[in-house]
Amino acid sequence: MNWFRLPFRLHQRGVLGINRRNADALLPHNPRSLFPIVDNKKLLHDLCQRLSIPTPQIYDCLVHQGEIHHFLSRLVHKKECVLKPAMGSGGRGVILIRFPSQGECLGANGVPLPLEELRKYLADGISGAFSLGGRTDQILAQERIGLHYSFHPIVPEGIPDLRIILYRGVPAMAMLRLPTRASKGRANLHQGGLGLGVDLQTGITFQAISDRYPRRHHPDTNAPLLGIVVPDWQKVLSISSQVARALGLGLLGIDIVFDPTRGPLLLEANARPGLNIQIANDAGLYSRFQEIDSFLDG
């Protein structure tokens, strides 16, 4: 391979790099004054509540160190939940906990989690250990979403999610992310999850990658990865566009999860979306952005 020609080839294919993303999409379309809501999961959740956009329930919110004991005593009655930093990113600091009985706490895969270790996690979290820029944070106790029946044959453990990138309020590219045993039930690509390109018109997967290499079958279940129909596709597109309009950001990544009874729920939003979605789709975002500009500007 001629590595000196690689940047030229990527440019020809309309692939968007970090520098071009920042210069041509973030700076002109994402004013920093609009970042606080999208960077804070609690504020985004509150916005969704006002707009009647479905989102996982937040049971409780830890703000101060002195509240840790009472925070944990309230969570025991929920039996299980997901703990996450309000201003975390990339899945950092997200843990699942269960309380099967009084005084007992279990973490991922049913491994006992000592309460002292959990208290330390909470103290570190609100001190900013997992947040963007190390800022003082809050820890959210969020409802755990079950596995949608559409994904039972595919997912051995964990919960899949869908990432949509919108440009100027228009869906530009979508990727279904599936967890694997190697990713320990997480859907993050950099932790070993699968990325599946999704056709924007039909909501059907047409390509899959793992660690940047193509795959046709799930490594754990051997289930086919191509031709998967994303549930409630039109509702997914509607939720995404509604959130983009409400936030006012011209470049936005939206993460959707699928509840077995309520369908698509908005999980998170990102004002600086990553670019691996291009690999999953074997297509460039820059070309998509140009098409949207031409359509909107006439």
Residue pLDDT, tens place only, 229-257: 999 999 999 999 999 999 999 999 999 99
What are residue 153's phi and psi, to 5 degrees?
-75, -15
User: Tell me, what amino acid is at 116?
Assistant: E
Question: Given a cut of 70, is residue 10 above it in pLDDT?
Answer: no
Confidence of residue 2 (pLDDT cuts 50, 70, 90): very low
Chain mean pLDDT for the chain: 90
Q: Can you give the C-alpha Rg of the chain in angstroms?
A: 20
The domains of the chain are located at 3-53+146-297, 58-142
- Top pLDDT among 100 and 161 is at 161
Q: Among 20-24, 100-104, 122-126, 139-143, whose mean pLDDT is lowest?
A: 100-104
CA distance linking residue 157 with residue 150, whole number of Å: 14
How big is the chain, counted in residues?
298
- Which pLDDT value is given to residue 100? 81
More confidently predicted of 12 and 79: 79
What is the distance between the alpha carbons of residues 148 and 228, in angstroms, rounded to a whole number? 13
- Give all strands (DSSP E) within 66-180, no chain letters: 80-85, 95-101, 104-106, 139-142, 161-167, 170-178
User: Are 18 and 288 spatial neighbours (Cβ–Cβ below 8 Å)?
Assistant: no
- pLDDT on residue 1: 39
Q: Tell me which residue has tokens 């193509």.
A: 214
The answer to whether 196 and 211 have CB atoms below 8 angstroms apart is: no
Give me the pLDDT at residue 128, please: 92
Give the Cα separation of 165 and 277 in Å (integer): 9
Least confident of 4-18, 108-122, 228-242, 277-291: 4-18
Query: What pLDDT score does 298 carry?
Result: 75
Torsion angle defined by CA atoms of residues 91, 41, 28 and 174, in that order, rounded to the nearest 10 degrees:
60
Maximum pairwise Cα distance, the chain: 63
pLDDT of residue 4: 41
Q: Which residue has the higher pLDDT, 156 or 82?
A: 82
Report how far residue 284's alpha carbon sits from residue 288's, in angstroms, rounded to the nearest whole number.
Answer: 7
What is the reported pLDDT for 157?
A: 84
Residue 141 has pLDDT above 80, yes or no: yes
d(CA 77, CA 249): 38
Positive or negative: CA dihedral 118, 119, 125, 130: negative
pLDDT tens, 168-211? 999 999 999 999 888 877 777 877 889 999 999 999 999 999 88
pLDDT in the model for residue 16: 86
Query: What H or E segment, with its residue span, contains residue 269?
Result: strand 263-270
3-53+146-297 CATH, one of 3.30.470.20, 3.30.465.10, 3.40.1020.10, 3.40.309.10: 3.30.470.20
39 band by pLDDT with thresholds 50, 70 and 90: very high
Measured from the Cβ of residue 259, the count of other Cβ atoms closer than 10 Å reads: 17
Instruction: Quote the pLDDT of residue 199.
Output: 98
Residue 126's closest CA among 62, 205, 44, 206?
Answer: 62
d(CA 240, CA 175): 13
The string of pLDDT tens digits covering residues 248-292 is 999 999 999 999 999 999 999 999 999 999 999 999 999 999 999
What is the CA 50 to chain-centroid distance, rounded?
A: 21
